[in-house]
């Protein structure tokens, strides 16, 4: 006699984690998106959105990416993150904080100057030039303070925004690569 039990359709709980703007910093087991695929990333022009369905992503990690978008496109990217993230799931975003850049400039932070000088092509090496280069080099298009970023994230619908230091996380993120005096990390839930 055939088995009379009917098959039960169980929802799949596939875990999809995405890393936006990964460059060559590939996180194993994640979908690593970047416009440049030379480092092994999956090609994605984030100006056109995140190529995934709504409410399908378990985690998002993005470090030193948002500042490469102008104000409106950065907002749209954060909306896209909200769209693809599952309810209750988490995003970690890191960027060079405008408040920290200005503070370093005003206090002439030796720690920041020592960190950044090898990465800049300066003519004079004084703080006026360092600040200008930090704001506009590497195709940076916009800058955020933690308050500004939290306001944007809240307006989009994210909740529980909390700021963390390098490699410190409330949700187990351990992928940070920018241990420097100006990078800010915030984690939020959908």
Cα(65)–Cα(57) distance, integer angstroms: 19
Spans of all domains in the chain: 17-97+141-189
pLDDT tens digits along 47-75 = 999 999 999 999 999 999 999 999 999 99
pLDDT tens digits along 96-137 = 999 999 999 999 999 989 888 888 889 998 999 999 998 888
DSSP state of 48: G
Cα(143)–Cα(65) distance, integer angstroms: 11
Residue-level pLDDT at 119: 86
Residues sharing a CB contact under 8 Å with residue 163, sequence separation 6 or more, in sequence order: 146, 184, 185, 186
Model pTM score: 0.89
138: left (phi over 0), alpha (psi -120 to 50) or beta: left
Q: Any idea which fold 17-97+141-189 has?
A: Rossmann fold (3.40.50)
Which tokens in the block code for residue 168?
């410190």
């Amino acid at each position: 006699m055939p088995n009379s039990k009917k098959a039960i359709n169980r929802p799949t709980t596939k875990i999809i984690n995405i890393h936006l703007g990964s460059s060559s910093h590939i996180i194993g087991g994640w979908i690593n998106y970047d416009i440049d695929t030379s480092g092994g990333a999956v090609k994605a022009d984030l100006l056109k959105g995140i190529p995934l369905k709504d409410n399908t992503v378990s985690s998002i990690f993005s470090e030193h990416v948002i500042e490469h978008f102008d104000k409106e496109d950065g907002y749209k990217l954060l909306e896209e993150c909200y769209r693809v993230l599952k309810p209750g799931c988490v995003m970690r975003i890191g960027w060079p904080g405008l408040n920290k850049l200005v503070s370093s400039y005003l206090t002439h932070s030796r720690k920041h100057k020592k960190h950044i000088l090898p990465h800049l092509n300066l003519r004079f090496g004084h703080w006026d030039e360092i600040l200008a280069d930090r704001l506009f080099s590497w195709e940076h298009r916009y800058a955020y303070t933690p308050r500004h970023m939290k306001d944007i994230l809240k307006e989009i619908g994210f909740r529980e925004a909390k700021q963390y230091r390098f490699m410190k996380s409330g949700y187990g993120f351990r992928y940070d690569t920018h241990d420097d005096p100006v990078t800010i990390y915030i984690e939020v839930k959908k």
